[in-house]
Amino acid sequence: MEELNMPLLGDKFPELKVQTTHGPMNIPADQKGSWFVLFSHPADFTPVCTTEFVAFQKRFDQFEKLDCKLIGMSVDQIFSHIKWVEWIKAELGVEIKFPVVAANDSVAMKLGMLHPGKGTNTVRAVFIVDPEGKVRLIMYYPQEIGRNMDEVVRAVKALQISDKQGAIPAGWPENELIGDRVIVPPATNEVDAKKRCEEYECFDWWFCHKPLES
Protein backbone atom coordinates (compact mmCIF):
# COMPACT_ATOMS: atom_id res chain seq x y z
CA MET A 1 0.00 0.00 0.00
CA GLU A 2 1.17 3.52 -0.75
CA GLU A 3 2.36 5.59 2.15
CA LEU A 4 -0.39 7.65 3.74
CA ASN A 5 0.65 11.24 3.21
CA MET A 6 -1.53 14.25 3.85
CA PRO A 7 -0.79 17.96 3.42
CA LEU A 8 -0.40 19.91 6.65
CA LEU A 9 -1.73 23.33 7.54
CA GLY A 10 0.19 25.95 5.60
CA ASP A 11 1.36 23.47 2.95
CA LYS A 12 0.66 23.92 -0.73
CA PHE A 13 -2.27 21.76 -1.77
CA PRO A 14 -0.95 18.81 -3.84
CA GLU A 15 -1.19 19.19 -7.62
CA LEU A 16 -3.90 16.87 -8.90
CA LYS A 17 -5.08 16.15 -12.44
CA VAL A 18 -8.50 14.59 -12.08
CA GLN A 19 -11.70 13.74 -13.92
CA THR A 20 -14.88 15.30 -12.54
CA THR A 21 -18.59 15.43 -13.36
CA HIS A 22 -17.81 18.84 -14.95
CA GLY A 23 -14.88 17.49 -17.02
CA PRO A 24 -11.10 17.38 -16.47
CA MET A 25 -9.74 19.59 -13.71
CA ASN A 26 -6.35 20.64 -12.38
CA ILE A 27 -6.42 21.23 -8.62
CA PRO A 28 -5.46 23.74 -7.27
CA ALA A 29 -4.38 25.50 -10.50
CA ASP A 30 -7.93 25.88 -11.82
CA GLN A 31 -9.01 27.48 -8.54
CA LYS A 32 -6.13 29.97 -8.32
CA GLY A 33 -7.32 33.34 -7.04
CA SER A 34 -10.30 32.01 -5.10
CA TRP A 35 -10.90 29.94 -2.00
CA PHE A 36 -12.12 26.38 -2.36
CA VAL A 37 -13.41 23.59 -0.17
CA LEU A 38 -12.58 20.06 -1.29
CA PHE A 39 -14.51 17.43 0.62
CA SER A 40 -14.48 13.67 0.27
CA HIS A 41 -17.28 11.21 0.93
CA PRO A 42 -17.11 7.42 1.41
CA ALA A 43 -19.41 6.33 -1.42
CA ASP A 44 -22.15 7.36 -3.81
CA PHE A 45 -25.71 6.14 -3.24
CA THR A 46 -25.33 6.04 0.53
CA PRO A 47 -27.71 7.78 2.98
CA VAL A 48 -25.33 9.95 5.01
CA CYS A 49 -23.40 11.09 1.93
CA THR A 50 -26.65 11.99 0.19
CA THR A 51 -27.68 14.19 3.14
CA GLU A 52 -24.27 15.86 3.01
CA PHE A 53 -24.44 16.62 -0.71
CA VAL A 54 -27.89 18.14 -0.32
CA ALA A 55 -26.66 20.18 2.68
CA PHE A 56 -23.63 21.50 0.78
CA GLN A 57 -25.79 22.42 -2.21
CA LYS A 58 -28.31 24.21 0.03
CA ARG A 59 -25.41 26.46 1.10
CA PHE A 60 -23.94 26.83 -2.39
CA ASP A 61 -24.91 30.52 -2.58
CA GLN A 62 -23.30 31.21 0.80
CA PHE A 63 -20.00 29.78 -0.45
CA GLU A 64 -20.30 31.78 -3.68
CA LYS A 65 -20.69 35.02 -1.69
CA LEU A 66 -17.41 34.14 0.02
CA ASP A 67 -15.77 33.56 -3.40
CA CYS A 68 -15.31 29.94 -2.37
CA LYS A 69 -15.76 26.98 -4.70
CA LEU A 70 -17.02 23.54 -3.67
CA ILE A 71 -15.47 20.31 -4.95
CA GLY A 72 -16.68 16.84 -3.94
CA MET A 73 -14.59 13.68 -4.18
CA SER A 74 -14.66 9.93 -3.67
CA VAL A 75 -13.06 6.86 -5.22
CA ASP A 76 -16.26 5.96 -7.07
CA GLN A 77 -16.05 5.98 -10.85
CA ILE A 78 -17.26 8.99 -12.81
CA PHE A 79 -20.36 7.25 -14.20
CA SER A 80 -21.45 6.49 -10.63
CA HIS A 81 -21.05 10.16 -9.68
CA ILE A 82 -23.08 11.26 -12.71
CA LYS A 83 -25.89 8.80 -12.00
CA TRP A 84 -26.01 9.70 -8.31
CA VAL A 85 -26.17 13.43 -9.04
CA GLU A 86 -28.99 12.70 -11.52
CA TRP A 87 -30.81 10.68 -8.85
CA ILE A 88 -30.52 13.47 -6.29
CA LYS A 89 -32.06 15.92 -8.75
CA ALA A 90 -34.83 13.56 -9.89
CA GLU A 91 -35.80 12.14 -6.49
CA LEU A 92 -34.96 14.96 -4.07
CA GLY A 93 -35.37 18.00 -6.29
CA VAL A 94 -31.87 19.30 -5.59
CA GLU A 95 -29.49 20.10 -8.45
CA ILE A 96 -25.84 19.59 -7.47
CA LYS A 97 -23.97 22.51 -9.04
CA PHE A 98 -20.45 21.69 -7.87
CA PRO A 99 -18.10 19.17 -9.54
CA VAL A 100 -17.49 15.72 -8.08
CA VAL A 101 -14.03 14.21 -8.54
CA ALA A 102 -13.58 10.55 -9.44
CA ALA A 103 -10.42 9.92 -7.44
CA ASN A 104 -8.20 6.87 -7.61
CA ASP A 105 -6.42 5.40 -4.61
CA SER A 106 -3.24 7.35 -5.42
CA VAL A 107 -5.07 10.69 -5.28
CA ALA A 108 -6.90 9.70 -2.10
CA MET A 109 -3.65 8.63 -0.42
CA LYS A 110 -1.99 11.97 -1.30
CA LEU A 111 -4.71 13.67 0.72
CA GLY A 112 -4.82 11.19 3.60
CA MET A 113 -8.38 10.20 2.76
CA LEU A 114 -7.89 6.44 2.97
CA HIS A 115 -7.56 5.25 6.56
CA PRO A 116 -6.86 1.49 6.70
CA GLY A 117 -8.65 1.15 10.02
CA LYS A 118 -11.85 2.51 8.48
CA GLY A 119 -12.05 0.28 5.41
CA THR A 120 -11.37 0.94 1.72
CA ASN A 121 -13.64 3.95 1.22
CA THR A 122 -12.51 7.55 1.63
CA VAL A 123 -13.26 9.07 5.02
CA ARG A 124 -15.13 12.38 5.29
CA ALA A 125 -12.28 14.84 4.83
CA VAL A 126 -12.59 18.61 4.40
CA PHE A 127 -9.79 20.82 3.07
CA ILE A 128 -10.21 24.58 3.01
CA VAL A 129 -7.67 26.12 0.63
CA ASP A 130 -6.93 29.82 0.14
CA PRO A 131 -6.47 31.75 -3.14
CA GLU A 132 -2.72 31.04 -3.07
CA GLY A 133 -3.33 27.30 -2.97
CA LYS A 134 -2.32 26.89 0.69
CA VAL A 135 -4.15 24.50 3.00
CA ARG A 136 -5.71 26.55 5.79
CA LEU A 137 -7.98 24.11 7.62
CA ILE A 138 -8.47 20.34 7.68
CA MET A 139 -11.28 18.27 9.20
CA TYR A 140 -11.74 14.49 9.27
CA TYR A 141 -14.97 12.70 10.14
CA PRO A 142 -15.61 8.92 10.22
CA GLN A 143 -18.06 7.34 7.77
CA GLU A 144 -20.79 7.07 10.39
CA ILE A 145 -20.93 10.81 11.26
CA GLY A 146 -22.26 13.42 8.84
CA ARG A 147 -20.61 16.83 8.80
CA ASN A 148 -22.05 20.18 9.90
CA MET A 149 -21.96 22.34 6.78
CA ASP A 150 -22.71 25.51 8.73
CA GLU A 151 -19.37 24.97 10.48
CA VAL A 152 -17.61 24.72 7.10
CA VAL A 153 -19.21 28.01 6.00
CA ARG A 154 -18.28 29.60 9.35
CA ALA A 155 -14.69 28.36 9.04
CA VAL A 156 -14.23 29.87 5.57
CA LYS A 157 -15.72 33.17 6.72
CA ALA A 158 -13.59 33.17 9.89
CA LEU A 159 -10.38 32.46 7.99
CA GLN A 160 -11.05 35.33 5.60
CA ILE A 161 -11.75 37.72 8.47
CA SER A 162 -8.77 36.57 10.55
CA ASP A 163 -6.42 37.25 7.63
CA LYS A 164 -7.39 40.93 7.72
CA GLN A 165 -8.64 41.75 11.21
CA GLY A 166 -7.39 39.44 13.98
CA ALA A 167 -7.96 36.13 15.71
CA ILE A 168 -11.45 34.60 15.88
CA PRO A 169 -12.83 33.45 19.27
CA ALA A 170 -14.56 30.16 20.03
CA GLY A 171 -18.10 29.85 18.69
CA TRP A 172 -17.76 33.04 16.66
CA PRO A 173 -19.90 34.98 15.85
CA GLU A 174 -21.70 34.04 19.07
CA ASN A 175 -18.83 33.82 21.52
CA GLU A 176 -19.84 33.76 25.20
CA LEU A 177 -17.37 36.50 26.16
CA ILE A 178 -17.10 38.92 23.24
CA GLY A 179 -19.87 38.02 20.80
CA ASP A 180 -18.93 38.68 17.18
CA ARG A 181 -15.88 40.83 17.99
CA VAL A 182 -12.35 39.83 16.97
CA ILE A 183 -9.30 39.38 19.18
CA VAL A 184 -6.42 41.85 18.89
CA PRO A 185 -3.02 40.12 18.56
CA PRO A 186 -1.22 40.18 21.95
CA ALA A 187 1.42 42.85 22.54
CA THR A 188 5.00 41.65 22.12
CA ASN A 189 6.79 44.27 24.25
CA GLU A 190 6.22 46.14 27.51
CA VAL A 191 5.53 49.52 25.91
CA ASP A 192 2.72 48.16 23.71
CA ALA A 193 1.37 46.10 26.60
CA LYS A 194 0.91 49.26 28.70
CA LYS A 195 -0.96 50.99 25.85
CA ARG A 196 -3.28 48.13 25.02
CA CYS A 197 -5.97 48.76 27.64
CA GLU A 198 -6.14 52.41 26.55
CA GLU A 199 -6.53 51.56 22.89
CA TYR A 200 -8.98 48.66 23.06
CA GLU A 201 -11.54 46.97 25.28
CA CYS A 202 -9.61 44.43 27.31
CA PHE A 203 -9.91 41.84 30.06
CA ASP A 204 -6.17 42.36 30.45
CA TRP A 205 -3.41 43.62 28.15
CA TRP A 206 -2.99 40.16 26.59
CA PHE A 207 -6.74 39.71 25.94
CA CYS A 208 -8.09 42.69 24.01
CA HIS A 209 -10.84 42.77 21.42
CA LYS A 210 -12.33 45.10 18.84
CA PRO A 211 -15.50 45.38 16.75
CA LEU A 212 -15.81 43.37 13.57
CA GLU A 213 -15.17 45.57 10.53
CA SER A 214 -17.81 45.36 7.83
User: Element (H or E) spanning 27, and its range?
Assistant: strand 23-27
Strand partners, 175: 179
Domain ranges of the chain: 16-147, 165-214
- Of 127-131, 134-138, 195-199, minimum mean pLDDT range: 195-199
Phi and psi at residue 37, to the nearest 5°: -115, 115
Is residue 49 part of the annotated active site? The answer reads yes
Query: Model confidence at 1, in pLDDT bands (50, 70, 90)?
Result: very low
Q: Is the CB of residue 210 less than 8 Å from the CB of residue 200? A: yes
34: which DSSP letter?
S
Kindly name the residue from 49, 197, 202, 208 that is annotated as catalytic: 49
Give dist(CA 60, CA 76) in Å, integer: 23
The CATH class of 16-147 is: alpha beta
The CATH class of 165-214 is: alpha beta
* 87 Cβ neighbours under 8 A, 6+ residues apart: 45
Q: Output the pLDDT for position 118.
A: 61
**Which tens digit of pLDDT belongs to each residue from 42-58?**
889 999 999 999 999 99
**Which tens digit of pLDDT belongs to each residue from 26-45?**
999 999 999 999 999 888 99
Nearest to 130 by CA among 6, 5, 11: 11
